[in-house]
Amino acid sequence: MTLKTGDKAPLFSLKNSDGEDVRLEDFIGKKNVVLLFFPLAFSSVCTDELCHVRDNIKKYESLDAEILGISVDSFFALKAFKKEQNLNFHLLSDFNKNVSEAYGALYDDFYGMVGVSKRSAFVVGKDGIIKYAEVLEKASEIPDFDKVQAALA
């Protein structure tokens, strides 16, 4: 089931690219959070999407938002991807697919691979409620960042 605006965001704890635990609940009451689920590190559209966010990080910071990129890649792969692309926000490994599934952002079949995150954007307000939800069926599309930023404003 895909989550929608007004739903309570499922809490989670995932490993970041340094193997450290990052918990959604640590941001509740303090910052807005933008969850960006993406299919696979090092793929062209994912790279374009995350580099766009990197290049616009000041805008998100001005909106008091923390960016969390989430994929089913291992945190080892995410560490290499983050370093190669000089990404300035957390990348989190949902290797066991629990969080992608909880947010309704998981492909059953992605080019023959089972359980890959769908490209998706969720804005979680400081109150823990989803302010914006976009789950894309086509991995070649990217989220509407204007709408993401509008939900943060």
Task: Quickly list DSSP for 118-130.
Answer: PPEEEEE-TTSBE
The answer to whether residue 46 is catalytic is yes
pLDDT at 108: 86
CA distance 18 to 79: 7
Of 70-74, 84-88, 105-109, 143-147, the least confident: 105-109
pLDDT of 45 over the 90 cut: no
pLDDT at 84: 95
pLDDT of 61 over the 80 cut: yes
User: Residue 41 burial by CB count (10 A; 0-12/13-18/19+): exposed, middle or buried?
Assistant: buried
Report residue 112's pLDDT band, with 50, 70 and 90 as the boundaries: confident
Class of domain 13-152: alpha beta
CA distance 139 to 45: 8
Of these residues, 22, 33, 46, 68, which one is catalytic? Answer: 46
